[in-house]
Structures are given as structure tokens and as C-alpha cells.
Structure 1
């Protein structure tokens, strides 16, 4: 029984290593902006060196991936980037000054480092917002939002981050994250003394 469990643990660790190596190779190819034999082979060599020489915390995968929710997330992300790009470009041309920015704290429902990182990356890639800090232990992201000078705009900014979190949890979150999503469907509706 313990031999089977050890074999499963080893297999899971191998899959996680493989996912990390493939991700690093893809990142290498994106940095070089070309897919040639030399760039692929050098990417594989660099990825193996990085994973063997440097300490990297383990990336814990949930073991689930929903293709439908991944497509919904991808389409929503493209739409949000386009809309925000037009909005930010408009700020440069309009006569009225841009409203003050705000730093917004978002208390996330997920406990996954991977999902937290993907939320931060997604929010930062949408023009008008940038991640400035994160509290991994408490699961809080701090983001700066452009033109966020009213309570309503702060609520909209938080709603965007919580929507990103929901999309990513539905795509690849663990069963624990899904349960947290069901128990706290709308963090914005919680009382000020609560977690939101």
C-alpha cells in the first residue's frame, strides 16, 4: 500500500516538474520571439539548469482543469484588455484631468499560490491596474488602479479582481478553492468588519 502511495507521489512530482520545465521553455521561446531548433534546445537546457541549480518552491497543482472555463477566461481577458486600452488611451486625449489613483486591497478566497500569482498577473496585464504587493500568508493582493477616486470606482476595481479570481478558480482551482467560492460568492457584500 505504501509502495503504491510512494509511486503516486513520485509520479505527481514528475508531472509537476514537467509542467514547470515546459512553462520555462515556453517563456524562453516568447523571450526570443522565435521557434527554431536552437531556441527550443537551448530553452530545454536552460529550463533543466534553472530547475536543478536554483531552489524553486514547489508549484502545487490542483489536478483539475476545465477547458470551457479556460475559454471563458481567455475571451473575458481579451475583451478586458481591449476595453481598458481604449479607456486609458482616452485619458491621454481628453481635456479633463485623470482622477486620483487608489491602492486597493483585495482579500482573496483562494489559498493556492499558483492561482494568486495568475490573478496578480492578469490584473497587471489589464491597462490601468498594477500589482504593487501581496500578502501570501493572508491571501491579500494590493493593486494600484488608475482613476479610482470614488467609493463606486473602488468597488468596481475590487469586483474586477474578484471576477478574475472566480474565473481562474473555475478554470484550475482546487476543490477547496471551489468550496470557498461557493461559501463566499460575493466578497463585496460582506460587512466592513469581515474579510472583504
Structure 2
């Protein structure tokens, strides 16, 4: 990946400050001038004390796909909440498994966003992320059998595809839309 230009570095820092201010206001539960100003001061201090490498965003925002991503995410959130509640009240211990899912787009941003989207849905938690291979190891609750495990793995890849359709580059779109090669057994 090519180094960032000065303009890209500034845009990256501004985006980080805006994101941190948004989170600060959400934590306080209301958007006020005081929360916004104090959030901006704290965000700048955080970025000065803990400088993070800038993330280069090569994609583009597709608003309809962003809406579709969040609609499906909230649907998954509700359905999974009921499934976990059912498992909690059902007699016996629910089966769980750790499944390895190799993502098709191996960027740090993609891995982070997919991991967050998967972890926020009840019943799944990221156990490990291998940056070198682009593999997420996910602890899944309520696994019934090997076929169900494969459906869960496919669902993680669908989350990745929806995310790439929402904010990915044209090259990333080609990667997620390409037929997946099955490993030789």
C-alpha cells in the first residue's frame, strides 16, 4: 500500500476526531455544545497521546447498501437475541464451536468491521483474528451439527459481502462476488 499523502493524513485525523466526538456524545446520552466541545478536546488529546496509524479507505460509500447492511444487521441482532434466550431456557448445555472463516478481503479495516459486526450479534464472539491470513476465529453458540456450522461460516462471509457492497472498492467487490474456491480434501 502506498504511503498516505498529507491531505489523506489530515482527512484521516479529522475522521478520527469526528468519530471520537460522536462516541463521546453517545456515551453521555445527548448531543450538546458542551459535550461536543469537550469531546473534541478529549479526541485531540487521545490522538496526540496515542497516535494510531491512519487507515487508508479505498472504497466508496453506497448509501442504499449501507441502509441494507444496517437493516440486516438489526434483523440479525433481534433474531439472535431470541435464539440465545431460547438456548438459555432450554434444558441441557448448548453446543458451541470455534469456526475459522477466511475473509476474501484481507485489509485491516475489513477484518475489524466484519469482526465487530459479528461480535455484536449475540451468540458469536471473535476468539482470534489472524492478520496474515485474513482469518477470523469465531466462537459460535448453539451449533447443532457440521451442516449448521457451515451455514454459520457462510453467514459470516455474507456479512463481509454486505459490508463490502456498502463501503468497499470496486476491486473488493470483484473479490467478494467471485466464485469461492473450495479447499481440496
Same fold (TM over 0.5): yes
- Aligned-residue RMSD, C-alpha: 1.9
Say if 2:63 and 2:166, in contact at 8 Å, map to a contact too. Answer: yes
Alignment partner, residue 104 of structure 2: 109
Q: How far has the Cα of 1:94 moved from its partner?
A: 2.6
Residues 120-150 of structure 1 show CA distances to partners (whole Å, capped at 9, x for unaligned) of 0010111110111101121010110001141
Could you tell me which of 47, 57, 61 is aligned with 1:51? Answer: 47
Q: How far has the Cα of 1:19 moved from its partner?
A: 1.1
Q: How far has the Cα of 1:63 moved from its partner?
A: 4.1
Residue ranges of structure 1 left out of the alignment (5+ in a row) = 1-7
Residue ranges of structure 2 left out of the alignment (5+ in a row) = none
Could you tell me which of 83, 88, 91 is aligned with 2:84? Answer: 88
Helix, strand or coil for the counterpart of 1:134? strand
Give me the whole-angstrom Cα distance separating, in 1, the residues matched to 2:66 and 2:114: 14
Q: How far has the Cα of 1:186 moved from its partner?
A: 3.9
Give me the whole-angstrom Cα distance separating, in 2, the residues matched to 1:35 and 1:140: 38
Return closer, same or farther for 1:98/1:153 CA change in 2, 3 Å cut-off. Answer: farther
Q: Does 1:26 align with 2:22?
A: yes
TM-score, normalised by the number of residues in structure 2: 0.91
